A = this chain, B = another copy of it.
Amino acid sequence: MGSLKGKDILHGNQFSRKEIDVILKIASDFKKELKKKDSLTLLRGKILATLFYEPSTRTRLSFEAAMQRLGGGVIGMGSVESSSVAKGETLADTVQTVCQYADAIVIRHPRTGSAKEAADVAPIPVINAGDGTGQHPTQALLDIYTIKKEIGSLKNLTIAMVGDLKNGRTVHALVELLSLFQTRLYFVSPGALRMPEAITANLKGKGIDVVETEDMMKAASESDLLYMTRIQKERFEDLSEYERIKGYYIIDGDFLGKLKKKITILHPLPRVNEISPEVDSYPGAAYFRQVRNGVFIRMALLAMVLGKR
């Protein structure tokens, strides 16, 4: 593989299977190093700028923690309201400005394609932390990493993705990566929230075994892992439609009791009601470990694009 030094992280499909293996290995190494040492200094003197044009707790904090765990510093735009965006500045100008302060940029923006726009004008690495209904590649990488850590391997897996598959950028990026590993896929959603036809067709074209269904129990009983997603209220224009749909797919003690097999459960969080809190103590409930894995993956990516791994 070529080095990631100076590269942007924009899209789930930019990585080869071999590159993904390297990223996961470096993430694992950092996890071990953090256990052994009180502090790492690999990125001391480096600065990461966070440009978040949309609400986010976990992604921003995860990047900030990753950068600081490696000894680096962080500067952040803060809320859009308190920034020059309010003075009518274009995204390109904001990005070109921030590049003068930092060594890398992580950006979340509501417009699909905006991260690519930023990367086109930035002389420093840009990492896409979610652009509209587009991509969220670091989430996909941490998901892959978590699947491997929880199940032990990425080979011969069957994974059921559940919920809003239409708008969920997380699952869009994830299935791109999973297709490299020939994972069998169940897409479980109400009809109105099905995986976009283009994505499903693309997967089938690659020889991936894809089954679409509305029946979560059936899919779960034939899968190694359930990837749950939130029905995102903010994507609905008609709130009564949201209210009708949000109760469709819920994991609780009752569901797990009927399932009669062990299963791993992931969720990109935040959840609303699709996983009951009583499930948190279930051994396969891996969504908080998934959050922690995000820090290791982002440490790996930051170190790599900054030329230190």
Question: How far apart are A239's CB and chain B's nearest CB, in angstroms?
Answer: 13
Chain A to chain B: the 3 pairs with minimum beta-carbon distance, closest first: A39-B45, A89-B270, A100-B292
Spot the interface stretch: A91-99, A125-133, A170-178: A91-99
Task: Tell me which residues across on chain B come within 8 A of A73, comparing CB atoms.
Answer: 68
Contact with B along A30-48 (1 / 0, CB 8 A): 0000000111100011110
Question: How far apart are A203's CB and chain B's nearest CB, in angstroms?
Answer: 28
Binding site for B on A (CB under 8 A): 37-40, 44-47, 49, 52, 55-58, 61-62, 64-65, 68-69, 71, 73, 75, 77-79, 81-90, 92-94, 96-102, 230, 232-234, 269-272, 277, 280, 288-289, 291-292, 294-295
Contact partner of A100 among B37, B55, B295, CB < 8 A? B295
The verdict on A84 contacting B97 (CB below 8 Å), with A37-B45, A39-B44, A45-B69 known, is no
Bound CA span A201–B167, Å: 58
How many copies make up the complex? 3
Question: How far apart are A212's CB and chain B's nearest CB, in angstroms?
Answer: 27
| Contact of A96 with B288 in the complex, beta carbons under 8 Å | yes
| Contact of A65 with B102 in the complex, beta carbons under 8 Å | yes
| Contact of A65 with B270 in the complex, beta carbons under 8 Å | no
The verdict on A56 contacting B84 (CB below 8 Å), with A64-B75, A65-B75, A97-B288 known, is yes
| Contact of A269 with B101 in the complex, beta carbons under 8 Å | no
A–B Cβ pairs within 8 angstroms, 27 of them: A38-B44, A38-B45, A40-B45, A47-B69, A55-B81, A57-B97, A58-B97, A61-B98, A64-B101, A78-B79, A84-B269, A84-B270, A87-B270, A87-B272, A88-B272, A89-B271, A90-B277, A93-B269, A93-B271, A96-B280, A96-B288, A97-B288, A100-B288, A100-B291, A100-B292, A100-B294, A100-B295
Task: Tell me which residues across on chain B come within 8 A of A37, comparing CB atoms.
Answer: 45
Q: Give the one of A46, A47, A101 with max B CB within 10 A.
A: A101
Task: Tell me which residues across on chain B come within 8 A of A79, comparing CB atoms.
Answer: 78-79, 81-82
Task: Tell me which residues across on chain B come within 8 A of A277, comparing CB atoms.
Answer: 90, 92
Chain B, Cβ-Cβ closest to A39:
B45
Task: Tell me which residues across on chain B come within 8 A of A65, comparing CB atoms.
Answer: 47, 75, 101-102
Task: Tell me which residues across on chain B come within 8 A of A83, comparing CB atoms.
Answer: 55-57
Task: Tell me which residues across on chain B come within 8 A of A94, comparing CB atoms.
Answer: 57, 270
Question: How far apart are A256's CB and chain B's nearest CB, in angstroms?
Answer: 19
Question: How far apart are A143's CB and chain B's nearest CB, in angstroms?
Answer: 15
Chain B, Cβ-Cβ closest to A51:
B57
Question: How far apart are A307's CB and chain B's nearest CB, in angstroms?
Answer: 11
Task: Tell me which residues across on chain B come within 8 A of A81, comparing CB atoms.
Answer: 55, 79
Bound CA span A99–B78, Å: 22
Task: Tell me which residues across on chain B come within 8 A of A55, comparing CB atoms.
Answer: 81-84, 86-87
